[in-house]
Structure 1
Amino acid sequence: MNIAPQVPERARVVIVGGGVIGCSVAYHLAKLGWRDIVLLERKKLTSGTTWHAAGLIAQLRASQSATRLAKYSADLYARLEAETGVATGLRQCGSVTVALTEARLEELRRTASMARAFGVEVSELTPDGVGGKYPHINLHGVTGGVWLPGDGQGDPSNIALALAKGARQNGVRILEDVRVTGMQADHRTVRSVGWEAGGEQGTIVCDHVVNCGGMWGHEVGQMAGVSVPLHACEHFYIVTENIPGLARLPVLRVPDECAYFKEDAGKILLGAFEPVAKPWGMDGIPSSFEFDELPPDFDHFEPILEKAVARVPMLENAGIHTFFNGPESFTPDDAYHLGPSPEVPNLWVAAGFNSIGIQSAGGAGMALAQWMEDREMPFDLVDVDIARNQTFQRNRRYLRMRATESLGLLYADHWPFRQKETARGIRRSPFHAHLNELGAVFGELAGWERANWFAEPGQAREYDYAWGKQNWFANAAREHAHIREGCGFYDMSSFGKIKIDGWHAEAFLNRVCGGDMSVEPGRIVYTQMLNSRGGVEADVTVTRLTEDSYLMVTPAATRVKDMARLRRYVDPADPVFLTDVTAGEAVLAVMGPRSREVLGAISPADLSNEAFPFGDAQEIDIGMGIARAHRVSYVGELGWEIYIPADMAAHVLETLTEAGTVARPVGLHAMDSCRIERAFRHMGYDITPEDHVVEAGLGFAVKTGKSSDFIGKDAVLRKREEGLTRRMLQFRLSDPNVMLYHNEPIVRDGHIVGQITSGAYGHTLGGAIGLGYVPCDGESINDSLASKYEIEVAGRRIGAEVSFKPMYDPNGTRLRM
C-alpha cells in the first residue's frame, strides 16, 4: 500500500505512538477543537504495551491530582461506548487490598483516610470482612484490608481503539505502519518530524510534537535531544484455564506477596510486581517488535506463584492457560512523565506509565491536552511533570540499575522517608566525604547524596523504617536542638543556583517574578514565579550580585523546571543570559542563635546586625578562602548560607570543624522539622501551581505596586479584591506519639474539609506539626480558628491545636537577632 499520499506535509501537532496514551492525547486535543492532528504508529495501534495490559482501573492514587485523573479515566471509559460504538469492557467490580503485617495495615488505614479526604468511597475491612468480599482467599496471616467499591477493570485494547475512533470522528488522522525516523530541531524548537513507511520517506513540518512512545519514549526523546528517563522491564502474569462455577469477583491485591488477582470471564489472571525486576531491551528494542511476547522465565515467577496458590487455593487445581511475559516501561521514581520537555518546549511527553497506563491514560491525555491549549499546567501536576527529571537520568546504565528496583517498589511498603537503594552515589557535594566521616546517613534527591541525619558512634548508619518514630528520631531531635539552642551546620549544595546576567536582567526578573527586583546589589529577595492564575510555579530567593547580575536559588528538585521556565520567557532580543552554576558553588548553612559567634571565630567579617542585616549578601573572608554569605534562614533562626567556590569548600568545612566552636553537623530531617515549626512553605507540597500565592499566605512576597507588570499580577489583584476561599493554617497534634507526613484529612467540626499538605515532627513544639488549607469563604481569620479541629491518622481522629501565625516565633524576631 502506498502510504505517502496519506501523510500530510504539515500538521499542527504530530503524536508519536499509538498506544492508549497516544490515542487519549489525540482524542482530547480534538475535543478542544484542535485540527491538523496526525498520530503516527510504527506498527499497529496498541501493539507495544497496551494490548497485554491487565486493564485494572483503580481510582485512588498517591495524590489528589493523580486521583482526580484516575477518576476522570473511569468516567470517560464508561461513556466512550455510547460515543464511539466500541465497547471498553469497563466493569466496576471493586477491589480488595489486604495486609499481612501490622505495618502494612497501618499503611492501608492511612490510605483509607487519604481516600476520604479525596472523596473516594472506601471501607476498612477486618480479616473476616476480607473473606466476605473475596470468599476464595486463605485468610491465614491476614491482618485486615480496605475495600474500594469504585475500582474496576476494562479491556485495554478496546479502550485505546475507542479513543482512536473518537479522535478520528473529530478529524484526527491516524496512520499505522509509519515509523518516525528523526526530528529536525533548532533554537530549542522542533521544526519537523521525519518518517518512513514501506520504503518511502518524508517529513512533516509541525508546530508541536507529543512523545507517546511508551517503551520507545527514551529513543524518541533523544531524536530531539530530550531526556525521557524510562526503561523496559519484563512483566509477568499467568491466566488460568476456565474455572467451573467461578462467579464475578473484585480485584484482589496482596502487596506483601507481590501479587494481584483479576477475575475475567471465569478465569483468574495472576500478576506480579516482584522485588527484583528483570530489565529488558538494554541494547534497544527490536524494530520488528509488534504484539510480541518475551521468553518465559518460570524460575523467576515461581516464588510469586507458590505464595499465590497458598493465598488463593483454588489456583492449585486450575490449569495454566497462558504464561505471559511482556515488557513495560518504568521510570526512576515510579511516576509517569507528562508535560513540555525542559530542553525543547514544543516537544511534549506522555510516557513511562509504570504499569498503570490504562487507569491513567484518560486523565493524563485530558491534562496534557489542556496544558497544550493553555500553555501552562492546568492544575497540580508537579509529581508527574517531565521537568522534575535530571539530565543525567537518561544514562542507560543508571536506568537499567534503577529499573531492577522501580517495578517492585509499586507493591513494596511505602514507608515514610523510604530511600532508593539502587543507582546511588552519582552526585556528591564537595562536603560529602567530610560529612561521611562525621557520621552522615545519606538520602537521595534528584541524584544528590544528601546528609539526612547523623549517627552516633556505634549506631547503625541505616534507616529502620516504621510509620511511627523511626530509629533516627532521637538523632534528629538532638540536631534540631543544635539549631534552636546553639549552632548547627548543614549542606545545601544540592539546591539549584541559576545566574541571570545582562543589562535587561532586572526588567526580565521583574516580569517573571512577583517580588521587586529593583534592589541594591547585595540584597536578597524572597519571591515566587506565578502562573496566570496566581498559582505558585516556583518558590525562590533572588540575590542581586551586581548591577546586571542576579543569582536565583531554587529547591534541588525543581532546578530543571525553574531553569526551563526562565528560558521560556527570555526574549531573544533581550541581552539576558541564563547559566546553571549549581555545581560551581558548595553551600554550607550555619544556623542557630550562636551562629554569629561560630562564624566570627573563622572569619574577620563584621557580622553584627548593623553591618550585616537580615536579607544581605556579602563577600567575606573565611579561613584562608573567600566566600559569599547570605543572611537568610529556612529554619527560623539567626544564620547564614555560605556560598563557597567548589574548590575551597573542603577547606572551609575543615576550618569550621577544627575551630572548636559549638557548631555541630545536622541533617536535612532536622532542617525540615525546624522549617515546619516556623510554618515555612514546602514547594511541591504546601505550594503548587494550583495554590494561589495569596491563599498560601505568601502575598507579602508579591509586590503589585512595582513599576512593571508581572505574570500573575491580575490574578493577585483579583484575589485581594474578591477575598479568600481558603487559607493555610498550621496544626499541632495533641498526641505527641503520632506522626504526620502528608495527605492526612483535616476535620473541622466533625467534617473533612481538606488535608495536610506537609507534616513533620516539631521537637521544640512537642508534637507532630502539619500545614494545610481549609475553606474560608467569607470568613475572618478568627472565624477559621474558632472551630474544633482534628486530624485523621489511619482512621483515628486526633485533636489538633490550630494557628494562623507560626506557632514558633510568630513574629520572626529570632531571624533578626
Structure 2
Amino acid sequence: MTTHSKVLVIGGGIAGVSTLYHLAKRGCTDIALVERTELTAGSTWHAAGNLPHFSTSINVMRLQQYSIDLYQRLEAETGHAVGHHKTGALRLAHTQERFEEFQRVAGMADICGLDFKLLKPEELQTYHPFLETHDLVGGLWDPDDGHIDPTSVTNAMAKGARELGARIHRNSPVSAISRDAAGVWQVETPQGTFTADIIVNAAGFRANEVAAMIGHKLPMASMEHQYLVTEGVQEVTDCGRELPMVRDPDVSYYLRQERDGFILGPYEPGGLPCWVDGVPPDFGQELFEPSLDRLEDIIATAMEQIPLLEKAGVQTVINGPITYTPDGHPLIGPVAGIDNYFVCTGFNFGIVQGGGAGHFMSQWILDGHPEIDLWELDPRRFGDYANARYSVAKACEVYAHEYANGFPYEYENRTAARPAKTTPAYTRLKENGAVFGARYGWERANWFAPEGVAGEDVLGYRRGNWFETVGQECRAVRENVGLLDLSAFAKFEVSGPGAEAYLDQLSTNRLPGKVGAIALTYMVSSRGRIRAEFTITRLAEDRFYLVSAAGAHSHDWDELRRRLPADGSVNLNDVTARFGTLVIAGPHARDVLAKLTSADLGNEAFPWLNARDIEAAGAPVRALRVNYVGELGWELHHPIEYQLGLYDALMEAGQEFGIRNFGLRAMDSLRLEKAYPMWGHELTCENTPIEAGLEFFVKTEGRSFTGRDALAGQRIEGTGVRLAYLEIEARDADAFTFEPVLADGKVVGTVSSGAYAHTLGKSLAFAYLKTAQTVPGTELEVLILGERCAAKVIDAPAFDPKNRRSRGFYED
C-alpha cells in the first residue's frame, strides 16, 4: 500500500491530533496521521489534564487561552464528550516577590482579555473552604481555569478531523523515513509506505526516534512525573460544589478535586530523567514504579496548607514520562536546514497547550508563519550546542524550577550545562568581574561587579543589585569609552554572481552601493511582517557580510537558506564561529583605537556606516563604524584566535581615557535612550517596519522585494498600530516587557521593552499602540506590578536626537 497526502502527521497524542484537526478545519483535507499504537498512547493518556491560562509569557498565555476556548466548544461541535470541568483556580503566594509575579501576570491577562483577580489572604477561603491562609501574602484567582479528560478531548478532535476528510492510521509505527528525488517524503510502516509533501513530527517522547530517521536531533528529554490520586473524603462529598484547583508555586505542587478525592502533583527538586539512551522499543501505554520518598517533603507541606489532605488515603500513584526542552517551552514550527519538515513536540504542559499548538502549527504549514509571535516556541531558537547531554541537564533543571518565580533574567541565570560556548576573552572578562548570562549557549557579560560587590544577580521584579553599577557603565560609555564583547552576533557571508540580486529581493532597504558601505535592512514576509534584521556590509561587488542578533542565529541562517536560488549562483556561509566582535564606543573610542593602528580613523577617511579592513594591535580587523549605543565607535570583527590579544591591547590603550568594560544591561539602557528597537521585542513577526517607525529603511520606489506591495500600501494607508516611545514615572521598578498600557483605565497597548535610562535619569519604554495614541504629549499609564504609573509619549530619541555623536561630532 502507498498512500499520498499533502501533510502527514506522525504521532497520535493531543499535539498530533490537534494539528490534524486544525489543518482539516482550514480546508486542507488531503491529510493523514499515523500512530504507532493507539491514539493518546504516549504521554497524553496519563496526563492530569489541567488547564491553566497562567504563564509568564504573554504568547504562551495566548496559546493556552486558545486551547481552553476550543475545548469549551468542542463537545458541541463534534458530539463527543470531552470531560471539561471549569472549576477556577487559586495560586498561592507565600512571599511578596511571588505576589509581585501575580501582579505582573494579571496585567498580561488584562491584555489578553482574561479576568484574573488578585486576592488578599482573608479572601482566599471564600474560594476554597479547606485552605489554611495564615502564612500567605495573597493569591491569584482565574475563574476560567479547570481540567479536562485528555483522552476524551483528543478523541473529540480526531472525530472532528475524520468528519472533515482527514485519515487516521493506528498501529502504524514508523520504521524509516527518506526522500525521493522530487523531495517527496517516504514514510515506511508495517502497513505500507505513506508519502507526503510535508511531514510533522508530533511523536512525543519518541520524537527523537523519528528525528533520527531524518538525520537530526531534537533538544528535548523525557522526565518522570508523579502525581497522587487519593481516596474519597466525606468533606469533599458534602461540599456541594467542585473545589477549585490550587497551585502553590512556592512549595511546588498542584492540587485539584478528582471525584470525591484529590489529585496532588508535586514537582520535586532534582527531577529524574528517563531513557537517556533512548526509549525502549517495547515501551507502550505503561507507567514507571512509584517513588513517593522523593515527594515526602512537598506532600507534608501541602497537608499543612490543606489539612483535609491528611484524611485522604493514597489510592494510586501515576508515574509516567513527559517531555522537556532546555527552556521548558515546546518545539512548534519548522526545523532549520530541512524543508517541509515541522515538529510539534516537547510539551510538558501538553493538554493545555495542545489545542493552541495544533492551531498555530496549521498556520506555520499553510501560511508560512503564525499570527502571533511564537519565537519562544520556534525550534530554531536552539542551535547545535543543545546536544543530548545539554538537553538532559537542562530538562532536569527546568523540572526542578517548574514553579520558579519568573523574574526578568531568571532563565539566563540558571547554571545547568554552563558554560556551553565561550569566547577567548571569557576568562579575562571573568577576572574583571563579569556577571554572565547564557543566550543561545553563549556566555555573555551582563554587567561587571566592582571589587567588593558580589558577582551574581540578586533577582527580583524591582531594580536589582546591578542597578547602580550598570549606571556607572552607561556613564563611562557616554563620557569616556567602553568595551563590550559581542562575539555572539550571528554572522554570514553571502557571495557569488547572484548575491546582489538575491539580497536585494530579500531586503526592505537598498543594499550598500559602494564597497565598504553598510546598510541596515529587514527581511519581511509577503504581508510585510518582520522576519529578520541585518546589517549588511558590501565587501566586494559580489560579496556581502551580514550580522544579526545572537539568539536568532539558527533562525536567520535558515530563513536565508530557504530563499537561496536553485541555480547555485549564491553561496551562503555561516562564519559566526570564525569571527569575534569587540565593540569600542564613546567619545574617546577613536583615541584608543588610534593607538593600535596606522589606519586613518577620521570622519572623512572613515565615516559612519562604513567598514574598513585594518590592522589593530597586530590583528587583522574588519572594522565597522556602527554600534547599538549611539556613540562614536566601531564593531571590531576579527578572526577569533586574535581576540585575547586584541582585547588586552584595547584595555591597555584605553587606560588613560578611562576605558571600562560594559555589559548587555548597560547596552540595553543606552539603546533605549537612542530609541533603537530590538529584534524579538519591537521587531517581531506580528509587526511590520512601518508599524515599528522604520520607514527610512523601507525603499519601495523602483524596487521589487518580498513584502514590497504590503509595505507600500501600509505607508499610504497605515495599519492603525504604531510603535510609541514612552517616558514613565516609575518608582523602583521599570517596565520590562508585556506590561499593559492604559488610557482612561482601559488597555490600549503593550510594552515591548523598557529599562531605566541611566544617563538621562528617567524610565523609558517602547509600546505598540493605536496610531492616534502615539502623538507626542499623549498622556497614558503603564501598569507595573499592579501600580498605575503615569506615562507620556515623547519624541524619539530622548538622547542625541540629531544623531551627531554616532557621526563623531561632540561639540555643540
TM-score category (smaller protein): over 0.9
Deviations 1:470-501 (A, max 9, x none): 11112211111111111001001001001111
- 2:745 paired with 1:750: yes
Is the CA contact (8 Å cut-off) linking 2:506 and 2:706 kept in structure 1? yes
Residue 655 of structure 1, CA deviation: 1.0
Give the AA of the match of 1:287: P
Deviations 1:332-386 (A, max 9, x none): 01111111111212111101112x1111111110111122111233331111111
Greater CA drift, 789-798 or 651-660: 651-660
State the match for 2:530 in structure 1.
536
Deviations 1:104-145 (A, max 9, x none): 111111111221122111111000111211111111311001
Residue 275 of structure 1, CA deviation: 2.9
- 2:803 paired with 1:808: no
Q: Which runs of 5+ in 2 are unaligned?
A: none
State the match for 1:398 in structure 2.
390
Give the AA of the match of 2:584: V
- 2:88 paired with 1:94: yes
* Residue in structure 2 matching 1:575, options 569, 575, 580: 569
Task: Give the root-mean-square deviation of aligned CA atoms.
Answer: 1.6
State the match for 1:709 in structure 2.
704
- Aligned residue for 1:757, secondary structure, equals strand
1:78, 1:724 → 2: CA distance? 32
Deviations 1:184-238 (A, max 9, x none): 14789562112235xxxx3222101000011112222222123421100010110
Aligned ranges 1:460-539 → 2 under 5 Å: 460-517=454-511, 519-539=513-533
- Aligned residue for 1:815, secondary structure, equals coil
State the match for 2:116 in structure 1.
122
* Residue in structure 2 matching 1:381, options 374, 379, 386: 374
State the match for 2:633 in structure 1.
639
1:667, 1:518 → 2: CA distance? 30
* Residue in structure 2 matching 1:719, options 707, 714, 720: 714
- The 1:432/1:185 distance shift into structure 2, 3 A limit, reads farther
Give the AA of the match of 2:500: E
- 2:411 paired with 1:420: no
Deviations 1:756-810 (A, max 9, x none): 111122111213221101112xx486xx334321111121101123214111122
Give the AA of the match of 2:659: A
State the match for 2:679 in structure 1.
683
2:777, 2:473 → 1: CA distance? 35
1:729, 1:187 → 2: CA distance? 50
Aligned ranges 1:207-246 → 2 under 5 Å: 207-246=197-236
- The 1:360/1:547 distance shift into structure 2, 3 A limit, reads same
Aligned ranges 1:325-474 → 2 under 5 Å: 325-354=319-348, 356-393=349-386, 395-418=387-410, 419-474=413-468
Give the AA of the match of 1:360: Q
Greater CA drift, 321-330 or 718-727: 718-727
2:541, 2:244 → 1: CA distance? 66
Give the AA of the match of 2:536: V
Aligned pairs, number:
800
Is the CA contact (8 Å cut-off) linking 1:729 and 1:802 kept in structure 2? yes
Deviations 1:638-690 (A, max 9, x none): 11000011111111111112223422111111111111111111111111011
- Aligned residue for 2:755, secondary structure, equals strand
Give the AA of the match of 1:801: K
Give the AA of the match of 1:225: G
- The 1:716/1:566 distance shift into structure 2, 3 A limit, reads same
Residue 264 of structure 1, CA deviation: 2.3
Is the CA contact (8 Å cut-off) linking 1:126 and 1:144 kept in structure 2? yes
1:814, 1:668 → 2: CA distance? 20
- Aligned residue for 2:37, secondary structure, equals coil
Is the CA contact (8 Å cut-off) linking 2:683 and 2:692 kept in structure 1? yes
2:419, 2:155 → 1: CA distance? 44
2:767, 2:692 → 1: CA distance? 9
Residue 406 of structure 1, CA deviation: 1.0
- Aligned residue for 2:5, secondary structure, equals strand
Give the AA of the match of 1:665: N
* Residue in structure 2 matching 1:792, options 779, 783, 788: 783
* Residue in structure 2 matching 1:251, options 232, 245, 259: 245
Give the AA of the match of 1:359: V
Residue 443 of structure 1, CA deviation: 0.7
- Aligned residue for 2:304, secondary structure, equals helix
* Residue in structure 1 matching 2:670, options 665, 668, 674: 674
Is the CA contact (8 Å cut-off) linking 1:587 and 1:641 kept in structure 2? yes
Give the AA of the match of 1:39: L
State the match for 2:195 in structure 1.
205
- The 1:723/1:397 distance shift into structure 2, 3 A limit, reads closer
Greater CA drift, 396-405 or 803-812: 803-812
Is the CA contact (8 Å cut-off) linking 2:185 and 2:199 kept in structure 1? no
Give the AA of the match of 1:214: G
- Aligned residue for 2:190, secondary structure, equals strand
State the match for 2:185 in structure 1.
191
State the match for 1:597 in structure 2.
591
* Residue in structure 1 matching 2:266, options 255, 259, 272: 272
Is the CA contact (8 Å cut-off) linking 1:441 and 1:453 kept in structure 2? yes
Aligned ranges 1:73-84 → 2 under 5 Å: 73-84=67-78
1:426, 1:30 → 2: CA distance? 42
State the match for 1:613 in structure 2.
607
Aligned ranges 1:24-173 → 2 under 5 Å: 24-173=18-167
1:747, 1:33 → 2: CA distance? 39
1:58, 1:792 → 2: CA distance? 23
Greater CA drift, 254-263 or 707-716: 707-716
- Aligned residue for 2:157, secondary structure, equals helix
Q: Percent identity?
A: 38
Greater CA drift, 726-735 or 484-493: 726-735
Q: Which runs of 5+ in 1 are unaligned?
A: none
Deviations 1:2-56 (A, max 9, x none): xxx5xx4322221110000110011111122223322111111101100111111
Residue 173 of structure 1, CA deviation: 1.5
State the match for 1:730 in structure 2.
725
TM-score under structure 1 length normalisation:
0.96
2:659, 2:597 → 1: CA distance? 14
Give the AA of the match of 1:383: E
Give the AA of the match of 1:261: L
1:172, 1:9 → 2: CA distance? 13
Give the AA of the match of 2:223: C
Give the AA of the match of 2:541: E
- Aligned residue for 1:218, secondary structure, equals helix
1:262, 1:451 → 2: CA distance? 43
- Aligned residue for 2:756, secondary structure, equals strand
- The 1:186/1:341 distance shift into structure 2, 3 A limit, reads farther
* Residue in structure 1 matching 2:289, options 295, 303, 318: 295
Is the CA contact (8 Å cut-off) linking 2:9 and 2:202 kept in structure 1? yes
- Aligned residue for 1:515, secondary structure, equals coil
